[in-house]
Amino acid sequence: MKNDAPMGMNDMSPLHLLHRAGQIADVLFSREIGSAEMTPRQFAVLSCVARNADLSQADIVARTGIDRSTLADVVRRLSRQGLLERQRTREDARRYAVRLTDKGSEVLAATKPAAMMADEHILSTLLPEERTRFLNALHQIVEAMDGRVRNGSAANR
β-pair partners for 86: 98
Output phi, psi for 99, to 5 deg: -140, 160
**Residues 11-64: tens digit of each pLDDT:** 778 999 999 999 999 999 999 998 767 899 999 999 999 999 889 998 999 999
Question: What is the Cα–Cα distance from 75 to 78, expressed in whole angstroms?
Answer: 5
pTM of the model: 0.81
- Beta-carbon contacts of residue 131 (< 8 Å; ≥ 6 apart): 123
**Residues 101-147: tens digit of each pLDDT:** 999 999 999 999 999 999 999 999 999 999 999 999 999 999 888 87
Q: Which amino acid is at 13?
A: S
Instruction: Report the half-sphere exposure of 60 (CA within 13 A, side-chain side).
Output: 35
Question: DSSP class of residue 23?
Answer: H
Looking at per-residue pLDDT, the higher value among 27 and 93 belongs to: 27
Question: What is the Cα–Cα distance from 85 to 70, expressed in whole angstroms?
Answer: 17
